[in-house]
Structure 1
Amino acid sequence: MPDLQSVLDEIATDLKTASERGAVASYIPELAKVDPGQFGIAVLTPDGVVHSAGDANVAFSIQSISKVFTLTLALGQVGDILWNRVGREPSGNPFNSIVQLEYEHGIPRNPLINAGALVVTDVILAGYKPREAIGLILSFMRSLAGDDSIIIDVDVARSEEETGFRNRALANYMKAYDNIRHPVEMTTGVYFHQCAIAMSCRQLAVAGSFLAGQGRHPLTGNKVVSAERARRINAVMLTCGHYDGSGEFAFRVGIPGKSGVGGGILAIVPGKASIAVWSPGLNKVGNSLLGSRALERLAKAMDWSIFGP
């Protein structure tokens, strides 16, 4: 088996200077300001060691990667009743599509597209004020990462609130079907703030590691979710975690993953590794161009595809 650190160093060196880098997300003005020349990767293995390369300690906006963690929280609050309000099927449409909602009467296709994540956030809001719900999500991220310095980037949150018309449209449409139970501005406000959480690759790899450890966090030994729930969250990530590029990611990389338009990807190799990679430039379906390539190279080098070598 190749040396993991050597593999990461080689990938980071090659991709740091790659000429084709994709395009940063320009529809959120604050994300449009991010330097596309950055690349970072971190891997936490079951022995508790974090291997990293490149800009692995630079914080970035996790955006839709937050959906994995809010899904975990919501399932913890209401259990499988959640699936009455959101499906588990790949969307085949862009992450912010409203067309599918019309066909399916306000029930989002899965929890990892925007409409589904808005329902999940609405579930978390039950019994809380918006500020409390935001605090709950942030505290969960901090506890999983073992790092209380993690913050919400208020400039990104404000930028999303000022430009989030389509997300409000999605929420309003679902509200018409009684699948958003709180005032739309409350649900979308919490959603914009969860997406604006800023984390580094190192922090994110640690936070997601319970999904690689059958629900148990390798650094603390704490059981975050049951082994069955960890398997099911991983399954949704594999089939739905890259929007309408999920099939291509599964085909090329072969491990569960969740991308965000901030350029990050959280990827899970059950029993072997929790991986976070970040490069701000996106491909045409909104996933990190170089992050996807890095994960393809890493999975191949380490024989980490869940489908075999």
Structure 2
Amino acid sequence: MKNMTAGNHCTVTEFILAGLSEKPELQMPLFLLFIGIYVVTAAGNLGMIALIVLSSHLHNPMYYFLSSLSFIDFCQSTVVTPKMLVNFVTEKNLISYTECMTQLYFFIIFGVAECYMLAAMAYDRYVAICSPLLYSVTMSYHIYSSLIAGVYIFSVICASVHTGFMIRIQFCKLDVINHYFCDLLPLLKLAHSNTYINELLILIFDILIIFVPTLTIITSYIFIIDSILSLQSTQGRSKAFSTCSSHILAVGIYFGSVAFMYLQPSSVKSMDQGKVSSVFYTTVVPMLNPMIYSLRNKDVTVALKKILQRKTFM
């Protein structure tokens, strides 16, 4: 049932997920912790999307990008967390081959989309602060909708290439994936066939997925900071910095944890360390982003108060 060998070909129908911890006494506390995180993540991100849809004064490119980021964060968390929660309360953490490849596919889509959406948001802030008079022209409906569509199209291409080449890999026994979800690196460690192309693809896409958005963000903020420092008004500087601070914080947390997972030399890389950084960008960051953007953004807090007042008087 679990593996069949025919000539040089072998088919695996299941894997075992090692999970976050193998200690039985930690399973229930971890289950309660992560179910709490998931509920807050779902409420925060879906609430942010609903708030942007319902508040007409939030209908501008900055908040359309933010609603897309909230959608990505909710989906990223949903791809990983429910299966992890099931694993905390089951004796054997089995995942079927099909389920594993599906999880990998959607994990890559939303992981790549997060990187590029944060880069698009940095470009949006650059235009808003450095060319405010041209903002409505530069960030027209056609431009920002094309940027958002481009993010998703590129993400689907990345996921399709990675997953397509992963499906070609042979797995010849019921192996343990040393992770709490199906990710590229832990899966490649179990391969029974040549993984050179897969490793080359990871290197190429790492450059495209991490360095290109990071370079875009850094370049945008060099111009933004230069523009802010040239402002004469202290109030103007403070307002400009406040519109960027939420984004800078979100970028720092997300890219920091992703880089820790994927850019360490193999000699110092530990999958247990990798699990900790993965928890940040798959569960903690999606929970924090709505809080970061709502607590540090006056437009969002004003919109929320108006919605709540409207509900109170109805």
Same fold (TM over 0.5): no
TM range (shorter): 0.3 to 0.5
Task: Give the TM-score of the pair, scaled to structure 2.
Answer: 0.32
Q: Between Structure 1 and Structure 2, which shows a larger proportion of strand residues? A: 1
Considering only CA atoms, is the larger Rg found in Structure 1 or Structure 2? 2
Between Structure 1 and Structure 2, the one with more helix by share is: 2
